[in-house]
Amino acid sequence: MLSKKGQTIGIFLGLVIVMSIFVILSIFVTQEILKIVFLSLAILSFVVGFFLYWHHAYGPNKIRKMLRKIKPLLTEGTIDDLKQRYIEIYQEYMGLSAAEKKNFYTRVERLRETIEEFLRQRKRIEELLDHSGKGTIAEQKKKYEEIYIIYLKLPTAAKQKYYPHLVQWRERLEKGH
């Protein structure tokens, strides 16, 4: 299966071929009305091709679309998925001109910071979970409260990963172990 870029290039090349055929047909036909029809179809093919390029392949439009798609993942997606999507956005961002980069810098930077914060939170939760049974009950309760505050800030998919561990830890604390 072709990637989106491959599909766009294929459609674009197909439209160029169709446009070329219409131009060639308009050259060889003798009736004026057919020449006008073929040239009109060639122009229409060009306009459709240009629109497809503008909509799918033009850098700023691609980044806008990618940023729109990643927004819901900030609350529902996995951290690894967010990281992968950010890398794709950043690669597209680096392909922009300096003037176009200015328009997206704050959004891309804010996204990076958010993902970095998720990664720090994940690391901190894993550290606290590794030390969940160590220390006095008071120390364990303090660690549990800290991990719970961090847990609430994570995306839904990441919460699902840590939920069983938190429940188990809470039950141990309630029993006094």
Residue-level pLDDT at 46: 83
Write b or e for each residue in 55-85: b if 16 or more Cβ atoms lie within 10 A of its Cβ, otherwise e.
Answer: ebeebeebbeebbeebeebeeebbbeebeeb
Tell me the three-class secondary structure of 46-95, residue by residue. Answer: HHHHHHHHHHHHCHHHHHHHHHHHHCCHHHHCCHHHHHHHHHHHHHHHHC
* Angular region, 58: left φ>0, alpha ψ -120 to 50, beta rest: beta
User: Is the pLDDT reported for residue 70 higher than 60?
Assistant: yes
**What distance in Å separates the CA atoms of residue 81 and residue 171, rounded to the nearest whole number?**
31
The 10s digit of each residue's pLDDT in 15-61 is 888 888 888 888 888 888 888 888 888 888 888 877 877 666 677 88
CB 85 within 8 Å of CB 73: yes
Given a cut of 60, whether residue 1 has pLDDT beyond it is no
103-158 pLDDT per residue, tens: 999 999 999 999 999 999 989 988 888 877 787 888 888 888 998 999 898 888 88
Stronger pLDDT, 98 or 4, i.e. the higher one: 98
pTM for this predicted structure:
0.67
